[in-house]
Structure 1
Amino acid sequence: MKLVFLIGLVLIGVVLFPNSVNARAASGQDIPVKALTAGLDNQLLNNQDRGLRMEVNLDVHSGMGLWGNSNKTGIEQLEQAVSNFSSDQPKLAQVYFYLTAYKDKPLDDQAFSEMNDYFQALSQHHIKAVLRFAYIWDDSNPKAQEPTTATVLQHLHQLEPWIKAHRNQISVLQAGLIGSWGEWDGGARRRMDEKSILQTLLAVTPKDLPIQVRYYNIKANDVDKNSADWNRVGFHDDYLIGDLHEWNTAGNDPNSATWKAMAAESKIVPVDGEMIWGVTNASDHGGKLISAKLIAKRLAQHHFTSLSLAHNYKEDGQPYSMVSWQHQYINRAVLDRLALPYQPSWFKKSGGENANRTWFDYIRDYLGYRIALTRANKSIANGQTTYQLTLKNYGFAAPMLTSQAKFVLLDKDKKIVAEKPINDFKHLQSRSEVTISWSVPETNQTKAKYLAFFFAGYDGTGNRLANDLAFLDGYNIISTF
Structure 2
Amino acid sequence: MKKKLPIILHSLFFIFCFTLAALILHHLISSRYLKIEYTPSSSEESSQDLDNPYRGFYQMGGYILSDKEKPKTAANWCKKNCTSNPYPLMLLEINLKNYSDSDISTNALTQLDKMLTVCTQAKKQVILRFLYDWDGKALSAEPSSLPQIKKHISRLSTVVNKHSDCVYILQGTFTGNNGEMNNSNYGDLNQIRQIIEELDNDISREIYLAVRTPAQLRGILRTSTPLSSSEAYSGTLASRLSLFNDGMLGSVYDLGTYGSTPLKSSSKPEEQGTRSDELLFQYKLCQYVPNGGEVTVDNEYNDLDNAISDLSQMHVSYLNSEHDEAVLNKWKNSTYTGSDTDVFSGCSGYDYISAHLGYRYVVQQSSIDFHSVLDDTATLYLTIANTGFSSAYTKYTTDMILTSKDTGKSKKVETAIDNRSIAGNDFSEFKLSLDVRSLKKGTYTVSLRMKDPYTKNYIHFANKGYEKSKTVPVGTLTLQ
Question: Which 10-residue stretch deviates more, 177-186 or 463-472?
Answer: 463-472
**TM-score computed with the length of structure 1 as normaliser:** 0.75
Q: Decide which structure has the larger Cα Rg and report it.
A: 2
* Residue number in structure 1 paired with 2:400: 408
Over the matched positions of the two proteins, sequence identity in percent amounts to 18
Alignment deviations for residues 197-243 of structure 1 (CA, whole Å, 9 cap, x no partner): 11010111222322110022221222254993112111011112453
* Residue number in structure 1 paired with 2:377: 384
* Residue number in structure 2 paired with 1:93: 90
Separation of aligned partners in 2, 1:261 and 1:391: 26
Structure 2 CA distance for partners of 1:144 and 1:51, relative to 1, 3 Å: closer
* Residue number in structure 2 paired with 1:293: 305
Separation of aligned partners in 2, 1:466 and 1:457: 20
> How far off its partner does 1:290 sit?
5.0
Separation of aligned partners in 1, 2:133 and 2:473: 49
Is the CA contact 2:39–2:475 (under 8 Å) kept in the aligned structure 1?
Answer: no
Whichever residue aligns with residue 298 of structure 1, its letter is: D
Separation of aligned partners in 2, 1:360 and 1:442: 46
Alignment deviations for residues 366-425 of structure 1 (CA, whole Å, 9 cap, x no partner): 1111111011233543343331211011111112x22234342357898864222124x3
* Residue number in structure 1 paired with 2:24: none
Separation of aligned partners in 2, 1:77 and 1:459: 18
> How far off its partner does 1:186 sit?
4.8
For the residue of structure 2 that corresponds to 1:332, the secondary structure is: coil
* Residue number in structure 2 paired with 1:361: 351
Of 161, 178, 181, the match for 1:181:
178
Is the CA contact 1:385–1:440 (under 8 Å) kept in the aligned structure 2?
Answer: yes
Match runs of 1:29-178 below 5 Å: 29-38=38-47, 41-42=48-49, 44=50, 46-61=51-66, 75-76=76-77, 79=80, 83=84, 89-140=86-137, 142-178=139-175
> How far off its partner does 1:269 sit?
1.3
Question: Which 10-residue stretch deviates more, 454-463 or 163-172?
Answer: 454-463
* Residue number in structure 2 paired with 1:69: none
> How far off its partner does 1:130 sit?
1.1
Of 322, 326, 330, the match for 1:324:
330
Is the CA contact 1:51–1:305 (under 8 Å) kept in the aligned structure 2?
Answer: yes
Is the CA contact 1:36–1:467 (under 8 Å) kept in the aligned structure 2?
Answer: yes
* Residue number in structure 1 paired with 2:321: 309
* Residue number in structure 1 paired with 2:18: none
Separation of aligned partners in 1, 2:68 and 2:436: 59
Whichever residue aligns with residue 293 of structure 1, its letter is: D
Separation of aligned partners in 1, 2:308 and 2:468: 33
Of 462, 465, 468, the match for 1:466:
462
For the residue of structure 1 that corresponds to 2:80, the secondary structure is: helix
Separation of aligned partners in 2, 1:120 and 1:470: 32
Aligned length: 411
Structure 2 CA distance for partners of 1:63 and 1:224, relative to 1, 3 Å: farther
Separation of aligned partners in 2, 1:63 and 1:167: 27
Alignment deviations for residues 401-451 of structure 1 (CA, whole Å, 9 cap, x no partner): 22234342357898864222124x313222221222222223554598753
Structure 2 CA distance for partners of 1:414 and 1:168, relative to 1, 3 Å: farther
Is the CA contact 2:366–2:475 (under 8 Å) kept in the aligned structure 1?
Answer: no
Separation of aligned partners in 2, 1:370 and 1:274: 21
Separation of aligned partners in 2, 1:229 and 1:61: 32
Separation of aligned partners in 2, 1:102 and 1:81: 26
Separation of aligned partners in 2, 1:415 and 1:365: 32
1:269 is the counterpart of 2:260 = no
**TM-score computed with the length of structure 2 as normaliser:** 0.75
Separation of aligned partners in 1, 2:475 and 2:468: 12
Structure 2 CA distance for partners of 1:373 and 1:77, relative to 1, 3 Å: same
1:373 is the counterpart of 2:347 = no
Separation of aligned partners in 2, 1:450 and 1:375: 13
Is the CA contact 1:387–1:438 (under 8 Å) kept in the aligned structure 2?
Answer: yes
Alignment deviations for residues 440-465 of structure 1 (CA, whole Å, 9 cap, x no partner): 22355459875323143654433111
Is the CA contact 1:49–1:91 (under 8 Å) kept in the aligned structure 2?
Answer: yes
Question: Which 10-residue stretch deviates more, 459-468 or 265-274?
Answer: 459-468
Structure 2, unmatched stretches of 5+, are 1-33, 261-272
For the residue of structure 2 that corresponds to 1:464, the secondary structure is: coil
* Residue number in structure 2 paired with 1:5: none
Of 202, 208, 211, the match for 1:204:
202
For the residue of structure 1 that corresponds to 2:177, the secondary structure is: coil
Separation of aligned partners in 1, 2:126 and 2:377: 44
Structure 1, unmatched stretches of 5+, are 1-23, 65-71, 314-319, 337-343, 348-354
